[in-house]
Amino acid sequence: MKYYNEHINKLNNDIYSKEYLTKHIIQAKQYIDKHYTDKLNLNEIAEKAFISKFHFIRLFKSLYGVTPYQYLKAVRIDNAKQLLISQISISNVCSTVGFDSLTSFSTLFKKITGKTPYQFQKQKSNFE
């Protein structure tokens, strides 16, 4: 029995080490970075990390300090800012960064930046 337990512990350390899990969480983050414009769901992203959805959320938050969904929203808003600065229409920016609704995009944008997309775009155009 001792041999069996030692063998299981060795396998757990070799195969499922923290480095293994960290590598998969990083790959999932990179997947979000690359596919933020797509309709992503948590199950799909967790599958990319080869772990359960709930374990994925816990590990992602411990590594990056935010949940995967919070990270996805931040990536979308950061990219939206860049597009708004380049004077692309707000509705095009909304659909380009992966939002289905202009209302939800505007609400989230204002919550994160303190300005509506229109106010942000107008302010940035005044500085140029």
* Residue-wise pLDDT tens digits, 58-72: 999 998 999 999 999
CA 29 vs CA 52, 87, 124: distances in Å: 15, 28, 29
CATH 2.102.10.10 fits 72-127, yes or no: no
The Cα–Cα gap between 68 and 14 comes to: 26
For residue 15, what pLDDT is reported?
Answer: 46
Ranges of each domain in the chain = 2-65, 72-127
pTM of the model: 0.81
CA 28 vs CA 36, 60, 91, 99: distances in Å: 11, 9, 28, 20
For residue 21, what pLDDT is reported?
Answer: 80
